[in-house]
Amino acid sequence: AEWGLPIFITAVVAKWTGDLFNHGLYDIHIHLKKVPLLEGVPEKHMLLMQASDVMTREVVTLDTRIAVADLVAVLDRCQHQGFPVLEPGTRYFAGMVERRTLIQLLSLGKKYGALAEPGSQAVKDTPL
C-alpha cells in the first residue's frame, strides 16, 4: 500500500515523457491498422472548417435493392466513401453503407458466382 502512490506517479511521468518524444504504442497500432479515428485535438487547418467545406450538394443515394450494373456505375461516377441507403418508393432512410463494403461485396459475389447475368436466374444460397 505504501508503494502504490510512488509507482503510480512514476508510471504517469514515464508515459508523459514518452509521449513528448514519440506517439504512444496504441496510437502507432491504430495508425498501422488504418482505423478511422478522430483525434482529441483537431489539426490547425481543421479548426476553421465547417461542414459545408467537405460536403456535397448532390447526395448520391442507393436503394435497398439495386442492380449490379447500376451499383458499379455509381461507384465509377463518384468517389464518395459512404452512401445513404433509402427504401424505394417511400425514400425512407434505411441506413448507410461504406464504399469499401460495396466493393468487397461485389468482389465476393463475383468470386462465388452469386452475380447473375441480366435475364438469368440468380443462384440461391450462395455463401458470401
For residues 35 and 69, what is the distance between their CA atoms, to the nearest angstrom?
A: 30
Residue 75 has pLDDT above 60, yes or no: yes
Domain ranges of the chain: 4-46, 51-111
Q: Specify the fold of 51-111.
A: CBS-domain (3.10.580)
Q: What tens digit of pLDDT does each residue of 11-32 get? A: 999 989 988 888 888 888 988 9
Residues 6+ apart with CB under 8 A from 120: none
Backbone angles phi, psi at 18, to 5 degrees: -60, -40
Residue 91 has pLDDT above 80, yes or no: yes
Specify the pLDDT at position 128. Answer: 39
